[in-house]
Amino acid sequence: MATLDEQIELEYRMVQSGISRYTKNMHDLLDKGLGSKTKHGRTIIKGIVQPVMDAIDSYRTKIGNNKSVFKSLTKDAATDELAYLALISVVDLMVRKPTLYQVARAIGIQVETQLRLQKWLQLDKEVATNVIDLANKKSDKGFDHKRYGLDHKIRADGLDIPHWNDQQRVRVGVRLIDIIIEHTGIVKLEKKITKKKTTYLLVATPETEEWVKAFNETNSIALPRYSPCIVEPKDWHGFWGGGYHSEHINKLPFVRVWT
């Protein structure tokens, strides 16, 4: 017959199994360059998207910016789209310490693609909607794969929706990165000097790294792999704390409610 010590050991293993699952899922996403889909990435974006939107609006309305390449190229883009697309690219890539050029170009491509799809919807709404929906259902395909497929369909239909060049993409991306650095503090530029050239890398600030570490440490223990008790469950006193016996498991409610 199982003992209380064996039950407590089981509860410890439940927590460790949950930590392993959480960590594996996180690293799988990071390895694929999908930091924005991790739990910490989604939380970062949700917490700072509004300040980035406000800063974009402020920049767009500044007197003297009428000749801005950024304003000209993004005049048909909604502020929330610009903020969200820029943050996705930054959070996706920052763990790899990419160059400023790489991130700026990635942001520019995201914004360009969004605007080209909007134009396509204006020109041929029914076809565009169906093809975009089909592409979005291919969850196993990356952004570039989907973008190439959509671009091929646009060309095949003979539609004239111009591309940006890399200089334009980078100009838009750099402006949005400047806004993110200035108004959120989640990333910074780091100068890397070699014999041949100077390169700027986009890296997470120490504050961001510390926050991500603490966030994941807390959340990784919150979802253990629950197993049935091998001894009689702990009595309930009120609505919290029954079932499992050890402090390894957070106190559970008597009734689980989804809201």
Per-residue pLDDT reduced to its tens digit, 195-239: 888 999 999 999 999 999 999 998 888 778 888 887 887 777 766
pLDDT at 114 over 80: yes
Cβ atoms of residues 249 and 14 within 8 Å: yes
* pLDDT reported for residue 210: 96
Is residue 68 very low, low, confident or very high in pLDDT (cuts 50, 70, 90)?
A: confident
- How far apart CA 28 and CA 138 sit, in angstroms, is 18
**Which domains are delineated in the chain?**
1-17+229-259 (no CATH), 33-220 (1.10.1320.10)
pLDDT at 58 over 60: yes
Least confident of 56-70, 187-201, 228-242: 228-242
Tell me which of 214 and 162 has the higher pLDDT: 214
Instruction: For tokens 């001894």, name the residue.
Output: 231
* pLDDT reported for residue 238: 66
pLDDT at 159 over 90: no
Is residue 259 very low, low, confident or very high in pLDDT (cuts 50, 70, 90)?
A: very low
- Bridge-based pairing of strands 187-193 and 198-204 is antiparallel
Q: Considering the chain, what is the average pLDDT of its residues?
A: 87
Give SS3 for 30. helix
pLDDT at 76 over 60: yes
Task: Give the ranges where 34-142 is alpha helix by DSSP (H).
Answer: 39-61, 69-73, 79-93, 100-123, 125-137
User: Encoding tokens for residue 45?
Assistant: 């974006």
**Rounded to 5°, angle at Cα 31 from 147 and 164:** 25
Phi, psi of 122, rounded to the nearest 5 degrees? -70, -35
pLDDT at 139 over 70: no
pLDDT at 175 over 90: yes
pLDDT at 256 over 60: no
pTM summary value: 0.82
Phi and psi based region of residue 213 (left: phi greater than 0; alpha: psi -120 to 50; beta: remaining) = alpha
* pLDDT reported for residue 254: 54
